Structure 1
């Protein structure tokens, strides 16, 4: 291999472009192998690859960029990375039209920006991460705009590479930039139209080609929302103070417009001492910062965006509410924060990226991509405004008062869960906004009642299901013991071949079968008649080791009812149609063994390739005996019972145990929605009462 690599490196430095192009073409297919890369570096190939990256053109340049990118992907060749290389790559992205060159260039930048998270040798000299790109971006300020424009490229691979690079820049900025810097970068990307472009990709038909970068962008959107929420509102920070002040100024703009310049100072002075300066905007107190504990700066951003972009509507709402009694006023600011929290919970923003990644791996298939993406998440601000409008509409339609605030919040939550949660991937955000605005209140109430029933079911159902599961295992052990005791007691079975039972006790032989006391063997023997006293185990000549049993099969129906064999006709019917067959692997016959004797006991060899045989055949005289023995044998083999009679017994034991346990539930243990009901008085009652455990009449 070393000889071949040496020759390849030598050709990379050839004076003929055709030779260099062929060499670097071969290099791009091999450089992704770490062992090959090590030899390539040892042979001095890095310097020649760097030269081609900086000075080549056409396909030679495209192959060089691809080779360079693959070398970095295997965490090698970082000595090549410097500002000259970065500037060259960014220049290509900004100025070069060829797709194959752009792909390689973007892949190189993804590795450089992501290197602090994937590289073994972390650098502090500014050559890696987003900071490595900033000097070159200053020279080519149109870089980010060109990058966002590539998201609409017809070449799916180039589009995916561009989004992957944007993701890397976002993640590095969020992680390593100062709190005053990364929001500016994110805002710049949004101003360039990255949200609109990615939203279009999520609703497009080429999802399979973009799935990984789209999933990462969606996760990064949640990271941003989570990061904004975790930032507590701090009025000592200028940007926080400006945002809150902007909300207040917007609320008082109509007054300053109506007043002359001379009176503006008096207006500001009077508002400064207004006892309801913030409460009239919908805050619960005159300390508005306390209201943002649950939503953080994310809530402030949403409220400020609404006030700034819908200022006329905001002022009109304030004016309308000011004419109403205090208890009937819609708390605008508080409602905005509630809608923020509803959206935050709906999109499960708090779910970690690791949980998302696990879900994505499970769902990643062409048929499940619609469940994978949440394009409406990208239009967070528009959904917030639409949700807030729905809140105002419901408040007015229901004639709500302040004490009904929580009920309106729940209605809005149900509305968003129904409309936003039920929207398919391709549904446009404008359609969602219209549906939120036109959703009928009566239909919403129906949904609320349905969800209320499910809520109560969930509140009790989980505990009941857990209790039933525990009781099932207890009942299963109880029924298993009961069935096994039937086997320990033993039973008589008509021998196979007995069909005419007019005088069954006199003319036909019977088989007595019993489980050994150690529960390891089934003993049986044939008799001419049923004996008054059951035979002792020692009197039974045959036995089956249960460890050799492979299966127990029967033609007993799972829905059979017990018709006890009280008459000869009933018994004939039961014996003719009911059969239990025990299969297994017989022990080797002793040298003097009698094969005919084995056949006499219904153990003829099967045709199974594994040498399975029929070890025992039983024809129970009734369905009750059939249920006891079939399920008893199955449960001895640690298998589930299958007959209707045993399952009915299981259900009976479970229900009995459940009702007994429910009798121990105290009044205080019950969780009520709202006020708890009044405890009935026992005045005039005595102790003459009883519990109807089984609910009978």
Structure 2
């Protein structure tokens, strides 16, 4: 009879040896070498055990070639529905394939091994063996030397290089430093009749090179043979994968090239031919649902780079007192608004009056209004664009306010400066780009050469209208901008990730001040009338401990249930399909962890290994303070927001949560185990919700009654406790 501990060490595995089934019960602790040798001996296979390896048979759950290793061997368990094949070892396979590629000629045999290598190269064990044999250099030499003519062979060869580099075993600079190889890929991209499959793989390799390269000089050399016009023209192809990878490569280059080259690229991408291609082919409603999400994210990233390069520097630059161009723009604003001649000594007083009517705070020297950053000189550029491209609207706005004498005029210059700063905040110009999730680009921005300036033009008209509706004065400045922020943010939102399609649609979606005011009034009326009541505050303080214990138990249950955490590549990007699982034992004494790549199943505590005893935990590091993030200097700032590291006497458990709630729950849970107070945003929010619910339940009979402003005074105790009952 097998006791429980022995049964836990066993698992059933379904092997397939040369097509023959072999169902065995094996020990989980048995080394793979020993297991392979047993299978070789039992089935009288030629050679020795080291000539073979085990692989997961391709099926519904296993999509790619994957070798069984000591780390993942427990996934052989038949309960997961996997079948295991005995096949040639990676070393023998790589040697055989390289021999055929180096010595053979074009024909079925070379095509066969290329297809085999393309299939196997996604596995890290094969990649390590291939790099050890210096096979990557051989493949790159074959590509740059045009050794293959069949399209299928070229595609397999390029896919192999992309898959090998995606393993991040060696630096991407190995690609960018080989100029002949890069030139060959560039010719594939720059040639009009290149097969789409070849294009897809060439683009993927260049994306990996652009994102993974650390040498700025090699990035510049690698970018030079690529014609940006050709990359943009690929966006007009009907193949969604080519469109997506072309746009992804453009974004990768914008992220990696030097500032001067980035400015040139942004200038070209902002011109009408490029915008027309984007509008006609990437903003089309005919894009399939499969590609719409990834394409929307790349469009958001492209727009972020364009706006950042076009306006961020100007937004953070003060005006120079001797900047003749800026001074001329200020003079042009006055002359356009009031149709007066150039200033002279005799009419300087008149000019000061004009600048005051324009809404400048410093009418004697208007340049001083642009010394604050943000918005810096960008505000002047926007005002100048408004005056020169929408002259009638500009004149109407300025004269309408400058002629008012009832203290209700809207100061054009001062309000424009504040408005430009507000629009920069709404669009996230000076913030890092979002890594994923609910990103939103503005479709209307791709239809205009100067999108931000045009956006400002429409918003300043909205501001002026709202100012009049509110009958505001300068004392109401902040109130007006609170309303304008609400108007703009709501109008930019849409059912899709693209926002309004045109600026006219944006203007039509802006809600009036009356609508905003009604909404705010409704929100105010729905607020808890007892929120500021002193007796209720006392009751909440009394209930606090009970609610904290409830949340604490929820955090324990969450950790006992366990969580799947992301794993990172060396460049800081998330590894797709690879996770680790972390669980707290039900007795709250041990943390268990292990690799777990099954998305639809949850491991039991027996499937994981005990990693850290709770009593050994010293502290928890969170966010950017995590030491392990230093190993990923290119990690996105969004990832660092959900990172935490559990520090123990024998090491640490480093995790990247997939969302902020998971991060907060684990942070609270570990702090609770350490005897510390919970302090996450989710804890504070849940505590407030539960407290309010409990108070409402307890005061249900008092609903509609007005509670006293202060808690009733507790009377002093009686002088003695000698009570008696009178009959």
* TM range, smaller chain: 0.5 to 0.7
* TM-score, normalization by structure 2: 0.53
| 2:204 matches 1:107 | yes
Measure, in 1, the Cα distance between the counterparts of 2:337 and 2:380: 23
1:7-18 aligned at under 5 Å gives the runs 7-13=96-102, 14-18=104-108
Paired position in structure 1 for 2:418? 338
Aligned match for 1:5, one of 94, 102, 110 = 94
Say if 1:257 and 1:300 are closer, same or farther in 2 by CA, change over 3 A. closer
CA contact (8 A) 1:72 1:78 kept: no
In the TM superposition, residue 158 of structure 1 has moved relative to its aligned partner by 1.2
> Aligned partners of 1:91 and 1:463: how far apart in 2?
76
**Closer, same or farther: CA 470–304 of 1 in aligned 2, 3 Å:** farther
Deviations 1:561-580 (A, max 9, x none): xxxxxxxxxxxxxxxxxxxx
Report the alpha carbon displacement of residue 161 of structure 1 after superposing the two structures with TM: 0.7
- Distance in 1 separating the partners of 2:167 and 2:350: 66
**Deviation at residue 338 of structure 1 after TM alignment:** 3.2
Measured after TM superposition, the shift of residue 156 of structure 1 is 1.6
- Tell me how far 1:397 sits from its aligned partner: 4.6
- Distance change in 2, residues 1:212/1:183 (3 Å): same
Aligned to 1:29: 119
Distance in 2 (CA, whole Å) between partners of 1:385 and 1:465 is: 49
Distance change in 2, residues 1:249/1:72 (3 Å): farther
Q: Distance in 2 between matches of 1:162 and 1:318?
A: 45
Which residue number in structure 1 is paired with residue 140 of structure 2? 50
1:38 paired to 2:128: yes
Aligned pair 1:187/2:254, yes or no? no
Deviations 1:330-389 (A, max 9, x none): 322333333334434445667655xx44x72xxxxxxxxxx5534458566344332221
**Residues 419-446 of structure 1: per-residue CA shift (max 9 Å, x gap):** 3336654652345334157x55543442
Q: Structure 1 residues 194, 320: closer, same or farther in 2, change over 3 A?
A: same
Alignment size in residue pairs: 460
CA contact (8 A) 2:173 2:215 kept: no
Residue of structure 2 in register with 1:500 after alignment: none
- Give the alignment partner of residue 95 of structure 1, picking from 184, 191, 204: 191
Q: 1:432 aligns with which of 505, 510, 520?
A: 505
Corresponding residue of 1:275: 352
- Quick one: which of 471, 484, 505 aligns to 2:542? 471
Contact 2:207 2:248 in 1 (8 A): yes
Q: Distance in 1 between matches of 2:173 and 2:346?
A: 63
How far the C-alpha of 1:226 sits from its partner, in A, is 6.7
Is the contact made by 2:336 and 2:395 (CA closer than 8 Å) also made in structure 1? yes
SS of the residue aligned with 1:295? coil
Residue number among 221, 224, 229 corresponding to 1:132 in the alignment: 221
Q: How does 1:426-505 map to 2 (within 5 A)?
A: 427-430=500-503, 432-436=505-509, 439-440=511-512, 442-451=514-523, 453=525, 470-473=541-544
Q: Which residue of 2 aligns with 1:83?
A: 179
Deviations 1:519-556 (A, max 9, x none): xxxxxxxxxxxxxxxxxxxxxxxxxxxxxxxxxxxxxx
Once structures 1 and 2 are overlaid, which stretch shifts more, 324-333 or 2-11? Answer: 324-333
1:28 positional shift: 1.9
Q: Answer whether contact 1:151 1:159 (CA < 8 A) is retained.
A: yes
Deviations 1:583-630 (A, max 9, x none): xxxxxxxxxxxxxxxxxxxxxxxxxxxxxxxxxxxxxxxxxxxxxxxx
Residues 1:64 and 2:157 are matched in the alignment: yes
Q: State the distance in 2 between where 1:160 and 1:464 align.
A: 60
Conserved? CA contact 2:111–2:153, under 8 Å: yes
Deviation at 1:94, TM superposition (A): 1.6
Q: Name the CA distance, whole Å, in 2 between partners of 1:464 and 1:305.
A: 58
* Partner of residue 290, structure 2: 208
Residue number among 229, 235, 256 corresponding to 1:172 in the alignment: 256
Residues 210-234 of structure 1: CA deviation (Å, up to 9, x unaligned): 5345325525645775785575323
Calculate the aligned-residue CA RMSD, in Å.
4.7
Does the residue aligned with 2:351 lie in a helix, a strand or coil? coil
Aligned to 2:492: 420
Aligned residue number for residue 247 of structure 1: 329
Aligned-partner Cα distance in 2 for 1:328–1:191? 41
Q: Distance in 1 between matches of 2:278 and 2:697?
A: 56
Larger proportion of strand: 2
Cα displacement (A) at 1:151? 2.6
Q: Deviation of residue 109 (structure 1)?
A: 1.4
Contact 2:442 2:492 (8 Å CA) reproduced:
no
Q: Secondary structure at the match of 1:133?
A: helix
Aligned to 2:386: 306
| Alignment partner, residue 651 of structure 1 | 698
Deviation of the 1:24 alpha carbon: 2.5
Contact 1:299–1:340 (8 Å) recurs in 2: yes
Q: Which runs of 5+ in 1 are unaligned?
A: 117-121, 138-142, 361-370, 479-646, 665-689
Distance of 2:345 and 2:203 partners within structure 1: 54
Q: Are the aligned partners of 1:89 and 1:105 in contact in 2 as well (CA < 8 Å)?
A: yes
Change (3 A) 1:415 1:243: farther
2:492 pairs with 1:408: no
Deviation per CA, 1:90-116, whole angstroms, max 9, x where unpaired? Answer: 222121432111111111211221123
Q: Distance in 2 between matches of 1:466 and 1:79?
A: 65
Aligned equivalents of 2:701, 2:269: Cα separation in 1:
61
1-structure distance, mates of 2:253, 2:344: 47
CA displacement, residues 642-687 of structure 1 (integer Å, 9 cap, x when unaligned): xxxxx8998259999x9999627xxxxxxxxxxxxxxxxxxxxxxx
Distance 1:458 1:409, change over 3 A: farther
SS of residue in 2 equivalent to 1:373: coil
Once the 2 structures are TM-superposed, how far is the Cα of residue 394 of structure 1 from its aligned partner?
2.7
- How big is the shift at 1:4? 2.3
Q: Which residue of 2 aligns with 1:366?
A: none
Equivalent residues of 2:319, 2:371 under 8 A apart: no
Report the 3-state secondary structure (helix = DSSP H, G, I; strand = E; otherwise coil) of the residue aligned with 2:360.
Answer: coil
Structure 2 counterpart of 1:218: 300
Q: Is the Cα–Cα contact under 8 Å of residues 200 and 242 in structure 2 kept in the other structure?
A: yes
Judge conservation of contact 1:229–1:299 (CA < 8 Å) in 2.
Answer: no
User: Compared with structure 1, are the counterparts of its residues 648 and 113 closer, same or farther at alpha carbon in structure 2 (3 Å cutoff)?
Assistant: closer
Aligned partner of 2:215 in structure 1 is 123
- TM norm structure 1: 0.55
State the Cα deviation string for residues 141-178 of structure 1 (Å, max 9, x = none): xx2122223234321211211121111012124xxx24
The corresponding residue for 1:295 is 375
8 Å CA contact retained: 1:28, 1:64: yes
Contact 1:40 1:46 in 2 (8 A): yes
- Segments of structure 2 that go 5 or more residues without pairing to the other structure are 1-89, 550-693, 716-727
Contact 2:397 2:461 in 1 (8 A): no
Which structure has the greater CA radius of gyration? 1
Residue among 60, 73, 88 paired with 2:166? 73
Residues 192 and 329 of structure 1, relative CA distance in 2, 3 Å threshold = same
Look up the SS of the partner of 1:136 in the other structure.
coil
